[in-house]
Structures are given as structure tokens and as C-alpha cells.
Amino acid sequence: MTKQLEGKIAIVTGGSQGIGRAIAECMADAGAKVIVGDKQPMESSRLHWHLLDVTDENSVKKFVEHTINKYGRLSILVNNAGIMPNSSLTEQSVEEWDQVMAVNLRGPFLMAKHAVPAMNTTRSPVIINIGSIEGISGNPNHSAYMASKAGVHGLTTSMAIDLGPKGIRVNAIAPGWINTELNQGYLEGLSDQKTAQKELGKLHPIGHIGEPSDIGDTAVWLASTQSRFVTGQVIRVEGGRMSQLSLPSIFNREH
């Protein structure tokens, strides 16, 4: 296996499960030492976990200090921590809206603010923000989530401009429907899971939904020198879903 990230020190926020855990595992496979920052503890023989609340600046500062004290440097920052409530615009509370913005948007800002000074001393540093295709298009009852992820995409562009002269590349990944615990729980709440799975597959020209490792592999590429001329981009990893215009199901039956 090629060790594209050999000798790199990587932080992955929200990495105890789902997409974040896959990113952490893939980066470890590629040779990086990975520190997972999360409020939820995790067990792993090769990933180092440390408590982190991305909405709390003191917590962020202590987490970055812990990383530098333990490893001496920081090469890669992956801002993955996020939440996605399901509330209509008129029923959503101000507190819920503020919490989504705090986790999904303030979190990446705070992490970058305190990580960048440490990254300035390393070779080819990289920041990867996890956005969403819902920062580009969307689904019902996701106003706060969509707004926050659109903000993440905008923040990515701004960071790429401001940090490029420091030698720091910044990109975002916009995942589509990924087979995570969260999405599995959503499907389990439906009356006909088999049909739902089939219909989900049809939304993607590639014929199936994504796996967390699809995002992890993309993150490894973005963190490696193979993408050394890529910055300020939002990379959609969504099986072609946004390239295909939907039609009523009867059209599919008639052709």
C-alpha cells in the first residue's frame, strides 16, 4: 500500500464515527498519525482520541496545544464535525439554528484559527473542510444545515485565498448520500426499507450510494502531494447524483 501521508500529523474533528471515522482510518492507512477530536469517546489501537468541543474556543485551543505538545507539529486539519437537525423553517427554534451554525460553521473557523500558526512550520500543510451537496442544492426541512454547509463552502474559498501565500492548501469535500449510521437510522424509520434503498440507488447514475471510505479516500488524495495544485475547490463525491435531472417514475417504466 502506498503511504502518501507518511510522517504527517492529522487532526480529524468529529472522527469517532461515520464519515469522520472513515477519513481518520484512511489517513492512518496512508501513513499519517491521526488525532481524533470529538465529544464522543472512541476506542482504537492506532487512532489517538482527545476530547474536543469545536464550538468552544477554549476547548479548541487546548486540543491544538495537546496535539503540538504530543507530536510537535501539525500537517493536516480535517474539519468534519457537524450536525443535521430536521426542522421546518417556521418551527425551528433560534437555539437550534444557533447550535447548527456553531458546530458546522464556527467550528471550522475556530479550528483553522488556532491550527494555522502550528501548520505554518510544516511542509505542504492542508486543510480539508467537509461540506455537503446540500450546500449546493437541498432537501426539505434542512434550512439551517443547508445554510451552514453553503457557509462552509464559502469559508473554504476565503481560506484558500488568505492561506495560499502561507503555503496552505484548503479544499472542501461535498459528500452525497453516504452509508453512515445516521443515514441507516433514517432508513430504518421507513416502512419499506427495501424499496427506499432501491430508489436511492436510482438517484445516482453510478447505481448505488456511497461508502464512508469513498470520502476517506478523497480526503487522502486532497491531503497528499498528488493534489498539490488543487486549492479553493469544493469536490463533489456523490455518484453523479447532482448531474442527473429527476423525472417522474412513469418515464422510467415507459423507456
Tell me, yes or no, if 145 is annotated catalytic. yes
CA 40 – CA 121 distance, rounded (Å): 30
Q: What Rg value do the Cα atoms of the chain yield, rounded?
A: 18
Each residue's pLDDT tens digit, 37-90? 999 999 899 999 999 999 999 999 999 999 999 999 999 999 999 998 888 889
* Cell triple for 102: 456553531
Q: State yes or no: pLDDT of 95 exceeds 90.
A: yes
Q: How confident is the model at residue 1 (pLDDT cuts 50, 70, 90)?
A: low
Of the candidates 57, 4, 56, 1, the one whose C-alpha atom is nearest the C-alpha of residue 218 is 4
CA 209 – CA 81 distance, rounded (Å): 21
Is 225 in contact with 124 (CB distance < 8 Å)?
A: yes
> Exactly one of 49, 63, 109, 145 is catalytic; which is it?
145
Tell me the pTM. 0.93
Average the pLDDT over 90-115 and give the result.
96
Average pLDDT, the chain: 92
Average the pLDDT over 154-165 and give the result.
98
Any idea what DSSP says for residue 178? Answer: B
Determine the pLDDT at residue 133: 94
Q: State yes or no: pLDDT of 104 exceeds 90.
A: yes
The topology under which CATH files domain 9-181+211-238 is Rossmann fold (3.40.50)
Determine the pLDDT at residue 203: 84
Domain residue ranges of the chain, discontinuous segments joined by +: 9-181+211-238
Each residue's pLDDT tens digit, 211-242? 999 999 999 999 999 999 999 999 999 999 99
Determine the pLDDT at residue 138: 83
Determine the pLDDT at residue 149: 97
CA 169 – CA 123 distance, rounded (Å): 11
Is 38 in contact with 20 (CB distance < 8 Å)?
A: yes
Q: How confident is the model at residue 198 (pLDDT cuts 50, 70, 90)?
A: confident
Half-sphere exposure of 39 (CA within 13 A, CB side): 10
Any idea what DSSP says for residue 243? Answer: G
